[in-house]
């Protein structure tokens, strides 16, 4: 695990969370139980505060950062896809942020909202609960359907399983 104190700001990782040794968790970051922090991810709480709820997956090469004295509250069982850039205030429970998406300052993502791959959510934008947003800039295009929630619930459980398996099964072989 690569955890870094910055001044008097230190990360806290709850029981059952996995943080890759190639991830960087800096400053005031709280990682809830059963979270998965993937390889190459960077969570920078050097001058803001980041809190991840239980069971959240921060996939490979994600960057999470917040402005000075800002707070980024990421709910439970959120999925943040590979390579996303997150500067937002809030991502509510069960939301899905697609691979390569960009969430700018003062963005709020509602519960069970889905932000598509490569989508750019501009500053001061809110995506309501149970809506799908895609494009550059983000536009709401549809409602989240029960089948999508079922699929993403399955994926979220896979990452919780990985968080528990990695400490036991990941072995460097060269």
Given a cut of 90, whether residue 18 has pLDDT beyond it is: yes
In a domain, 40, yes or no: yes
Segment 128-148 shows an average pLDDT of: 98
In a domain, 138, yes or no: yes
**Boundaries of domain holding 43:** 3-169
In a domain, 104, yes or no: yes
Q: Phi/psi zone of residue 141: left (φ > 0), alpha (ψ -120 to 50 degrees), beta?
A: alpha
Domain count, the chain: 1
Q: Is the dihedral of CA 99, 138, 89, 142 positive or negative?
A: negative
Transcribe 19-47 into DSSP letters.
Answer: E-TT-EEEEEEEE-TT-EE-TT-EEEEEE
Given a cut of 80, whether residue 1 has pLDDT beyond it is: no
- Alpha-carbon span 16 to 99, nearest angstrom: 25
Q: What is the CA radius of gyration of the chain?
A: 15
Q: Tell me which DSSP letter residue 144 carries.
A: P
In a domain, 55, yes or no: yes
pLDDT digits (tens, 9 = 90+) for 102-133: 999 999 999 999 999 999 999 999 999 999 99
In a domain, 81, yes or no: yes
Per-residue burial over 55-82, b = 16 or more CB atoms within 10 Å of its CB, e = otherwise: bbbbbbbbbbbbeeebebbbbbbbbbbb
pLDDT digits (tens, 9 = 90+) for 19-76: 999 999 999 999 999 999 999 999 999 989 999 999 999 999 999 999 899 999 999 9
In a domain, 99, yes or no: yes
User: Looking at residue 122, which CATH number applies to its domain?
Assistant: 2.160.10.10
In a domain, 82, yes or no: yes
In a domain, 174, yes or no: no
Total-model pTM: 0.96
- Alpha-carbon span 82 to 97, nearest angstrom: 9
């Amino acid at each position: 695990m690569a955890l870094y104190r910055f001044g008097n700001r230190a990360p806290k990782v709850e029981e059952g969370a996995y943080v890759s040794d190639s991830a960087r968790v800096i400053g005031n970051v709280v990682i809830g139980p059963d979270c998965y922090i993937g390889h190459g991810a960077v969570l920078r709480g050097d001058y803001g505060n980041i809190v991840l709820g239980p069971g959240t997956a921060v996939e490979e090469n994600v960057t999470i950062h917040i402005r000075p004295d800002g707070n980024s509250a990421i709910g439970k069982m959120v999925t943040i896809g590979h390579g996303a850039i997150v500067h937002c205030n809030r991502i509510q429970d069960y939301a899905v942020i697609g691979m390569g998406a960009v969430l700018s300052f003062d963005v709020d993502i509602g519960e069970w909202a889905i932000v598509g791959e490569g989508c750019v959510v501009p500053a001061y934008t809110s995506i309501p609960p149970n809506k799908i947003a895609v494009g550059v800039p983000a536009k709401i295009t549809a409602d989240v359907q029960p089948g999508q929630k079922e699929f993403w619930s399955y994926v979220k459980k896979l990452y919780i399983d990985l968080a528990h398996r990695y400490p036991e099964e990941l072995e460097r072989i060269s």
